[in-house]
Chains A and B, each alone.
Chain A
């Protein structure tokens, strides 16, 4: 089975722009979660999608949004980028109790 695939691996954006990140879960997994990793705040939960519905949401501003498609692929969008949004964004797909993570997308906001 292929693992969790995140694209792109690296992104550089300018403040004020918006960005869309993509995540393809492991085949058969219907749950996709997103996490933000920064040196200062560590790993923080953004949101979880299950069968195209947002099931859980972390404490992030409304500029952070996501969606899930019928094939379980998920995208997250960040609008009006700020310097503080620079981070590694990790996607995880879940089966039963285990979460499997992708390589992440490194977003740099300049």
Chain B
């Protein structure tokens, strides 16, 4: 069965510093991987996805993610954090490794960026 793990409940960084939010996955077949962000009392906003191709994926708001097949990881990164990046981040994998199937989410990582 497909699964996603986000090993950190919370990540704290200072504004202007680089940030990394970790995600590892377990899938059979080729993974379809996603990152979403959730602000308080809001729905999920799509940040970026990896389907195939370049291992470094660029997304919204300056975020990027690196797909590493050998380490089965898909870490979210940003070179310079902003206070407004503080939110809950979810990594997800599509269940059947294709365009169909539901999303399986990690537990989420709370990112806190301090001025």
Contact = CB atoms under 8 A, between A and B. Distances in A.
A103 B105 CA distance: 17
B101 A101 contact: no
Given A42-B107, A43-B105, A98 B100 contact: no
**Dominant SS among interface residues on chain B:** loop
B102 interface: yes
B43 A103 contact: yes
Of the four ranges (under 10, 10 to 19, 20 to 34, 35 or more), the interface on chain A belongs to: 20 to 34
B93 to A, nearest CB: 12
26 contacts: A33-B103, A35-B102, A42-B106, A42-B107, A43-B103, A45-B95, A45-B102, A45-B104, A55-B100, A56-B95, A56-B100, A90-B43, A92-B103, A97-B32, A97-B49, A97-B94, A98-B34, A99-B46, A99-B103, A100-B46, A101-B36, A101-B44, A101-B45, A104-B42, A104-B43, A106-B41
